[in-house]
Amino acid sequence: MASTDATLKDAMTSIEGVLGVALVDYTSGMALGIAGGSKELDLNVAAAGNTDVVRSKLRTMELLGLKDEIEDILITLGGQYHLIRLLKSRGGKGLFLYLALDNQRSNLAMARHQLKRIENDLEI
């Protein structure tokens, strides 16, 4: 098991093309930890905005009566992939990992695989 900071740093070094990563509490919209980012990619703003995405999808699933869980939410932009992975561990309830990738330097399938591994290593 790894701490939040170690886990996020691991994501920055082990996932090809990563621009930034954050652990986010979607009940408050607050980033509990961030690594990477830039002037153009403010991870605190992204955390708050993606909280709305997660809440909206959960609300829609409830309205549709879907009895399933969100694994990933993928948003594709012209030059980036944004990946949201809701944590399933007991201590991770209400949290998600947010990953921003350069789509020219990343492999989406491998990034999803690595993010799942990182989720399993995360100590909350």
**Whole-structure pTM value:** 0.92
Per-residue pLDDT tens over the stretch 40-61: 999 999 999 999 999 999 999 9
Question: Residue 12 belongs to what domain range?
Answer: 4-121
- The CATH number linked to 29 is 3.30.450.30
Query: What confidence score (pLDDT) does residue 33 get?
Result: 94
Is the pLDDT score of 89 beyond 90?
Answer: no
Per-residue pLDDT tens over the stretch 90-114: 666 899 999 999 999 999 999 999 9
Cβ–Cβ under 8 Å, residues 22 and 43: yes
Q: How far apart are CA 16 and CA 97, in angstroms?
A: 16
Structural domain count of the chain = 1
